[in-house]
A and B are shown apart, each in its own frame.
Chain A
Amino acid sequence: MTYERNWILSEKNARIFPTKLCQIFYDVGILSFRDDRADFKLLCKENINLSEIKSLLDESQKVDLAVCFSSFILSPQVPFKSDEKSDAIIGLIIYDLKNRQPLSLNLNTLTQFQMRTKKVKPNGLWEYVYDLFARTSSHNSFKSYLPLPLSIRDYTPLPWFCLAFMKGVTKEVTIDDIKLDLPLFLVFGTPLLLAGKPSYSFDSEKQTAFVMLGFREGSKQSLHQVRFDMSKGEPKLHLDYQIFCEEERPRKTLGHFIINFQDIWDFSENLAIGFLLAAVYDLKFDTTVVSQKLEGIDESFRNDPLTVYPLFVRSMAKEPFNRIKGSGELLEILEKIAKGNSVKDDANLKELEKLHLVSGGQLTILGDVVYRRVLQQKNRK
């Protein structure tokens, strides 16, 4: 893995002048082999036209191997609005152009990176890309990991993205005569950070999320959006691919592609576990998506109850959740402990310990789950 490693290292100090944003998010590295000769070329996402993507796909059929390396940054509109809650996401996708399939996709939110690395290094976002690259490939295999930890606000849609950009969809996403696919969207889409547009958002109340990136179609600039939605037209969690072009009406090239839980399980059991575990911390995902809007979950349970076992974790929180919800005193103490304050209220502290929510003066994992669920319910009122 020399060529792509050298490329990533060479991007360490490259910035988009006059900003400090890393150039690497705007580049795509393509490694190809033909008759034992290697070629590594670097393309700028901003300059690639959709028809050129088609040419690259056609050319890849003539070589022995063609692999793309593309890092991406997805973020709410910058500067952040005062009520913006979504985090930014950094990721790396490796795509086999010849066989038209992603080899790996790894992504994390900035909060997850900070929780993982503890200390942010001087090269900031580039360090995160390098971290993802180092974790992705070993020997001849490419690994994709569940974006951890789970206990953050923006965790819920991350497994949705893993599904969409690793598995793709069975329906074709055809733009003019170009057969794009969801992973390719991520490989070649231009970041929107400097264009003052949002490229990612997660609305936890509505349980909708999107990823949006820029493309060039002929002389026109367009914005392509992959959106996870639940609407009147299709109440189940589904995926839309919509294109926004100036002075034109938005057009959907893929509409209402329903997410089926059984398909997730069949694709990757570990991803399905991660998908459902979002229900532990995210009350709205639990009570809206899982219980009403997720296609195939009942059938999956009936065929093999193990497929929904991760939901058992949130049911463990049910009893202490009801207890805390009904007691202002206990919630107050739990809140104090969550905020790191010391508590002298012996009777209530003992009660919380008895409920396995507190141990050694700190929240247990169950305590953290219950506290967050209670807070979400409180904020909703």
Chain B
Amino acid sequence: MTDLQKLFKLLEEGFRIIQIQFSFDKNRSPQQIVEMELKRGDERTTLSSSDDELISYAVHLHSIPHFEDDDSDFVYVKNTGKYFALQEIIVSLFTGKEEEFVICERNLGQNLPELIKKQ
């Protein structure tokens, strides 16, 4: 099980990340370390890792703004790529770059242009 999978497992078990810390240790390789503190009720646990995947995920989480929902410092976004895509959409809606923002697209059950061509 990778460290990222371990994190997802803890989250599924009801733990919430309450702190993320990044540090560097020049004496080891890889040098970057992420340390996550998790909480479930009164229970606490930590996850420390230099795994690229987990660091990348933690960097994303760290950059996501906090909504005041519970005691934690982070929101839990499973798909961080979607978060950044959403951010981009909102910026383009406000700047007027996005003028044609589709909210629904439906097709006819039958091919209308073909039916017309038959006439």
Contact = CB atoms under 8 A, between A and B. Distances in A.
Interface string B68-95: 0100000111110011001101100111
A80 interface: no
B102 interface: yes
- Chain A residues touching B, majority SS: mixed
Interface size class of chain A, counting residues whose CB lies under 8 Å from the partner chain? 35 or more
B94 A365 contact: yes
B13 interface: no
A68 interface: no
A67 B118 CA distance: 18
A104 B106 contact: yes
A148 B89 CA distance: 13
Interface size class of chain B, counting residues whose CB lies under 8 Å from the partner chain? 35 or more
A260 interface: no
B103 A148 contact: no
A270 B106 contact: no
Interface string A51-79: 00000000000001101000000000000
A268 B103 contact: yes
Nearest to A368: B94
Contacts of B94: 150, 280, 313, 365
A3 B102 CA distance: 25
Nearest to A281: B94
Contact of B67 (A33, A141, A301): A301
A304 B78 CA distance: 8
A268 B101 CA distance: 12
B96 interface: yes
Given A104-B106, A146-B101, A309 B83 contact: yes
18 contacts: A33-B115, A36-B118, A64-B115, A65-B115, A67-B108, A99-B109, A105-B104, A135-B100, A140-B108, A142-B105, A146-B101, A146-B103, A148-B96, A273-B89, A277-B90, A301-B69, A308-B67, A315-B65
